[in-house]
Structure 1
């Protein structure tokens, strides 16, 4: 499968670095509208050491962070916001539908629904094998570093 952006290219867009860079690659971007990205969840993730021993589960807040990173890539790849930083302004209606465990592949969808100046809203979903693992609405703010 051809990647729209590799992990190295992702690092050229967003400031996140290990251990808090969760996007492995970007599958597709519909400029200024929607992104599909991928996170391969492995047993080597730091968070599995404590969440939970004997029953490793990806924390829900980190699934939301991964969605936010996908959204940041979409936002910062637009001509309007290149060279800026995207921040989470709010998270609404977050729902967690199933556990995410080592070996899962998270497909991340972030779709912008509204923008006004440097503020916008989006709907985001993380799926595993086409089943929703988590979903929410984000408010984002774009600013200088």
Structure 2
């Protein structure tokens, strides 16, 4: 029962029943899945609902719904930057490109510079290389 209520009212753990109904109503077809388990859909039918017959595209997140979890190649397909999904026409990876990482803010893996209050240990030494402004003089 609790899982049914979560599917009806929450969107941050998995797709809701409303998303499932929308995908069913639009006759969406599964186009592919990324390495994180996110599934990508495109509107089916003879003609799409966008102007000039364009088709709507969706992502159904596997786990937490966080936009930064979409890899660049799928982001480009979702936003109609290219027509073919990465499953049909893989995007070439240049040797200087790093692997995609989601936004790590608020997680234990977030960047914390030396002196940050969230870093354990001694605070960074205070620098005295400037003089604070004073309105009196």
TM-score (norm 1): 0.28
Higher relative contact order (CA 8 A, sep 6+): 1
Which structure has more strand as a fraction of its residues?
1
Query: Considering only CA atoms, is the larger Rg found in Structure 1 or Structure 2?
Result: 2
